[in-house]
Chains A and B, each alone.
Chain A
């Protein structure tokens, strides 16, 4: 035995000479074949109700299926014909750009607003917390139809917004349609974001914040260096959810503008719908839907990777 003692005689950080047993370890996870039996019903449901319809819809994007007419029943696979149309479809590329602005604006707006509200409500008195929190949650719970109608009524000519600004004849849905629908979507997602962030912030131990307070850290430093890093995985997951919710928020835009005026709010889901049901080209509508699915999947993969959340 050497007389060298590791620091404080506590932390055994030198390499002790041990003969570690070899062979199969008992603490490794092993696949249990018996679990297949128990999982069978779930696997059947997943295949029958999700994988098959999704795959079928994907396939439809590469056919000449229409809503009415001869190919409504006897449609066939047309290979890359639809894809070629898609690549040269200027409206689609414009729609992608609009989708990006709509989703990006909604995410940034809702996340910042939700965070500010969650932080503000944490220090608010109980009565304020209950009332304000309640109102915000109601905004979130409101179905897209009601939210869309409210915002339509507020921003159209002679609406609340115009009246408040004293220019009752201006129609914001015409002059700044993308801004209005993005704001409306932001408004309806903020409640959700706030709830999630408020719950996450409650998990930041009070004494940790007090410790920072004793160190004379400013509110911003405390948030930036302590609270935000602690809740970061939640922020990443929330961003992903808001992106997906916004991508799918077809009803809100369809009610307010139907994608107009002049395609100014024509996000991908709306375009897909318009192609399929207004122009009766179901196959092309499905293909646009496929694009949406691919984008969502890529985004989901990126975010799962970023947040290192194990699913």
Chain B
């Protein structure tokens, strides 16, 4: 168990900054997820923390010790590599046992630990095989097992579930969260899958181009993204964005004009919008906040007419691309809405659900009150709640 601090950490490969001025505090026992698009420096950050890469500038602290120059083996870390890095000459069993063996941990306990980890990861029947004889997902589970067999100060996991099928991924996600609740080992977890990030992380760090854009709880990121990148990166399908014009009526009420309509904004939005310098903010609206007119709540005071250009039916709900003027917006529609492609559709939204960004800098210019996030938070909790049943039972349920 340990806390971690990145202090102005840079890593340059030649002239290319792979990590640019990373400042981050991670508390003891926290589960922090690094998320961002490919090549944004997630792996490099993790390798810096592991000691496999030395920072060009800045320093890294674990538990109030400056570990910037400490070799990896002395940091008491267990790491899952993105490329697995299994020992090709050893069987699964010996791969799992390697760490405890070289650390000269108690030999008598080792077989039971190996079998415990193997059973959690469903590897019992593969213990005698070499990595070359395993499927991609099986290899990945061995890589995970090699870390989980230890109880280090820090877990570093680089996309440990990327190669598993959807059902298994959900299950392993729950397993990892459960293990974290059990052991409370500080964990830094890298993924490019924002659903994984949102459901697993105590806090999520969004990176892009080597920079840390925003750190916060999943709700904070969802409700108050600091800029356009975070806003469009967090949440699926991604947030709709369109340009708008700020207008003030004669009676002093503020509205935005966009998509061919004028939408009166709420008082708290107006107050912050008028403080901002821009008259033409970029406006964001999540697909889940763009409702089908027929089932929209009374708060949805803005009404749009569009033509459905494409529809993806997922069973319980569907996602439609709706053309409104020259803008294409994604909307989440209930099952009851049977609209087809090329048919007109009426939509509505609540102006309080809008996000506003500076058109040049992309920074958020309206901070949203936390209350709006209430219903979302409930959803989130349902997603991470873990049924208290044995792993074998859950498999059958899958």
Tell me the A residues contacting B by CB distance below 8 Å. Answer: 3, 5, 7-11, 13, 205, 207-208, 210-218, 221, 225-226, 229-230
If A8-B122, A11-B126, A208-B87 touch, does A3 touch B103 (CB 8 Å cutoff)?
no
Which residue from B81, B102, B122, B146 sits with its C-beta under 8 Å from A217?
A: B102
* Additional 15 contacts, C-beta under 8 A, given A7-B122, A207-B83, A215-B98: A3-B396, A9-B395, A10-B138, A11-B125, A205-B83, A205-B85, A210-B52, A210-B81, A214-B51, A214-B79, A216-B73, A217-B102, A225-B87, A225-B102, A226-B87
- Interchain CB contact under 8 A, A9 and B103: no
What are 22 contact pairs spanning A and B, CB under 8 A?
Answer: A9-B168, A11-B122, A205-B85, A210-B85, A211-B79, A211-B87, A211-B146, A212-B98, A213-B71, A214-B72, A214-B77, A214-B79, A215-B73, A215-B99, A216-B72, A216-B103, A217-B98, A218-B102, A225-B87, A226-B87, A226-B89, A230-B89
Residues of chain B contacted by A214 (CB below 8 angstroms):
50-52, 72-73, 75, 77-79
B235 interface hit (Cβ, 8 Å): no
A207→B158 CA distance, assembly (Å): 13
Give every chain B residue within 8 A of A225 (Cβ-Cβ).
Answer: 87, 90, 98, 102
Closest to B119 in A: A7
Where the two chains meet, the residues of B that have a C-beta atom closer than 8 Å to any C-beta of A are 50-52, 71-75, 77-79, 81, 83, 85-90, 98-99, 102-103, 122, 124-126, 137-138, 146, 165, 167-168, 171, 395-396, 398
Q: Which of B78, B122, B146 contacts A10 (CB 8 A)?
A: B122
Question: How distant is A4 from chain B, measured CB to nearest CB, in Å?
Answer: 9
B180 to chain A, nearest CB (A): 20
Consensus secondary structure, chain A interface? helix
List residues of chain A with CB within 8 A of the CB of B74: 216
Q: Are B124 and A7 in contact (CB under 8 A)?
A: yes
Indicate the member of A208, A215, A225 with the most B CB atoms within 10 Å: A215
Are B72 and A213 closer than 8 Å at their CB atoms? yes
Question: Measured between alpha carbons, how far is A213 from B72 in the docked complex, in Å?
Answer: 6
CA distance A79 to B396 in the complex (A): 80
CA distance A203 to B371 in the complex (A): 57
Give the Cβ gap from B161 to chain A, nearest Cβ, in Å: 13
Complex: A216 Cα to B126 Cα, angstroms: 26
Question: Bound complex: CA of A215 vs CA of B74, how far in Å?
Answer: 9
Q: How far is the CA of A117 from the CA of B258 in the complex (A)?
A: 71
State how many angstroms separate the Cβ of A233 from the closest Cβ of chain B.
11
Q: In whole angstroms, what is the CA distance A214 to B87 when docked? A: 13
Q: Which residues of A contact B88 (CB under 8 A)?
A: 205, 208, 230
Interface pair A7/B81, CB less than 8 Å apart: no
Query: CB within 8 A of B395: which of A7, A208, A216?
Result: A7
Does B137 contact A207, Cβ atoms closer than 8 Å?
Answer: no
Q: CB-CB < 8 A to B87: which residues of A? A: 208, 211-212, 225-226
Nearest chain B CB to A77 CB, angstrom units: 53
B103 touches A215 (CB 8 A): yes
Task: Return chain B residues, CB-CB under 8 Å to A230.
Answer: 88-89
Complex formed: what's the CA distance from A7 to B138 in Å?
12
- Which of chain B's residues have a CB closer than 8 A to the CB of A3? 396
A215 vs B340: C-alpha distance in the bound complex, in angstroms?
Answer: 57
> How far, in angstroms, from A221 to B78 measured CA to CA in the complex?
18
Chain B CB count within 10 A is highest, among A8, A10, A218, A229, for A8
Chain A residues positioned under 8 Å from B86 (CB to CB): 208
Question: A11-B126, A230-B89 given as contacts; is B168 within 8 A of A211 (CB)?
Answer: no
Contact flag A5-B396 (CB < 8 Å), given A214-B72, A215-B103: yes
When C-beta atoms are compared, the residue in chain A nearest to B171 turns out to be A8
Closest to B77 in A: A214
